[in-house]
Amino acid sequence: MEKINSRWSKLAVIIAGSFLYTFGMNYFLIPYGLYSGGGIGIAQVITYLLGKVIDFGGKNVYGIVYFLINIPLLVLAWKGIGKSFLIKTLIGSAAISIFASIIPIPKTPIVDSVVASVLIAGIINGFGVGLLLVAGGSGGGVDIIGVWAARKFKNASVGKISLYVNVVVYASLLLMFDIEIVIYSLIYMVCFTLMMDRVHYQNITVRLMIFTKQEGIDQKILKQTGRGVTEWNGVGAYTKEETKIMICCINKFETAEFVEIIHSIDPKAFVIADEGVSVMSGNFEKRL
């Protein structure tokens, strides 16, 4: 996805992602009595248990419970990730809580097939949360833990952390619910995770190799992006002309920005981008 720069554009994306996520929950997952993972899943379980002793009058309150669960996690976001992420996550989690309370849940499933409903929910919800992450925030819950871990550990991604945590969550649900509900909920979660990681390009590390005869590309990259660049001199095998060779590691989300910087100085620069490389050590910053 294209990089989102405007503050208002990011806010709009956060609201849209929150709406999509909650719409998928209320229209495709909950009508079948299925459960999400992470914070929302825990909120669903707590709401279910509270419903046995408290009469909510048919009102949907899992969104309110979800927001309360997020309070200690927002403290983690503030201390371990940063103010900007905290504000965006606060907006995202609040929007999800509000949408969860106002979007009606159909009394009967709108899709006849539970498998189709699970897949639709996974795609919509994964895309929605992916938008939240692309805008630099999250919907709260496990996303906060995932972003924190992804910044601390080089091979971690938000999707992977969410999947690992949710396996534990669903294993505990086996003690409370029918195994069929848990299995379908797990299928949803796998689909959700795959879709989220497809949208959230920041998880993918890219190695850029730049071949140019022009000066200044390295300094412009350093100044505008803060990324490090390693360079050396080379010689073309056919032309025997000297050329500068540069290499840097970025994430996939930054690729278009880097190519634009390079071609603003040398439109004829030769650029190679290798996706999915692993950075084993050094000072590579994983930006989310």
Separation between Cα atoms, residue 242 and residue 212, nearest integer Å: 9
Greater model confidence, 139 or 232: 232
pLDDT surpassing 70 at residue 232: yes
pLDDT surpassing 60 at residue 53: yes
* Whether residue 235 sits in one domain with residue 165: no
* Whether residue 240 sits in one domain with residue 130: no
**Predicted pLDDT of residue 144:** 78
pLDDT surpassing 70 at residue 206: yes
Number of domains in the chain: 2
* Whether residue 145 sits in one domain with residue 91: yes
Separation between Cα atoms, residue 260 and residue 267, nearest integer Å: 9
Mean pLDDT of 24-45: 89
Mean pLDDT of 119-139: 86
Which helix (H) or strand (E) segment holds residue 116: the answer is helix 114-134
Q: Is residue 284 part of a domain?
A: no
| Residue that finishes a domain, picked among 149, 176, 202 | 202
Closest-CA residue to 60 (of 95, 109, 97): 97
Percent of the residues in the chain that have a pLDDT greater than 70, as a whole number: 86
Report the greatest alpha carbon distance in the chain.
82
Mean pLDDT of 219-235: 87
* Whether residue 213 sits in one domain with residue 166: no
Greater model confidence, 70 or 6: 70
Q: How far apart are the first and last CA of the chain?
A: 14
pLDDT tens digit sequence for 89-126: 888 889 999 999 899 999 889 999 999 999 999 999 99
**Predicted pLDDT of residue 287:** 56
Q: What's the mean per-residue pLDDT of the chain?
A: 83
Residues 176-191 as b or e (16 or more Cβ within 10 Å = b): ebeeebbebbbbbbeb
| Residue that finishes a domain, picked among 165, 183, 202 | 202
Q: Is residue 280 part of a domain?
A: no
* Whether residue 184 sits in one domain with residue 129: yes
* Whether residue 224 sits in one domain with residue 196: no
* Whether residue 242 sits in one domain with residue 229: yes
**Predicted pLDDT of residue 159:** 64
pLDDT surpassing 70 at residue 286: no
Separation between Cα atoms, residue 280 and residue 288, nearest integer Å: 18
Q: Are 130 and 194 in contact (CB under 8 A)?
A: no
Structural domain for 229, as ranges: 204-275
* Whether residue 172 sits in one domain with residue 50: yes
* Whether residue 182 sits in one domain with residue 238: no
Instruction: Look up the CATH number of the domain holding residue 270.
Output: 3.30.70.120
Bridge partner residues of 207 (DSSP): 249, 274
Q: Is residue 52 part of a domain?
A: yes
Greater model confidence, 159 or 248: 248
**Predicted pLDDT of residue 86:** 78
Q: Is residue 288 part of a domain?
A: no
- Ranked by mean pLDDT, which of 136-140, 161-165, 171-175 comes out on top? 171-175
Say what angle helices 83-102 and 7-24 make with each other, to 10 degrees: 40
Q: Is residue 138 part of a domain?
A: yes
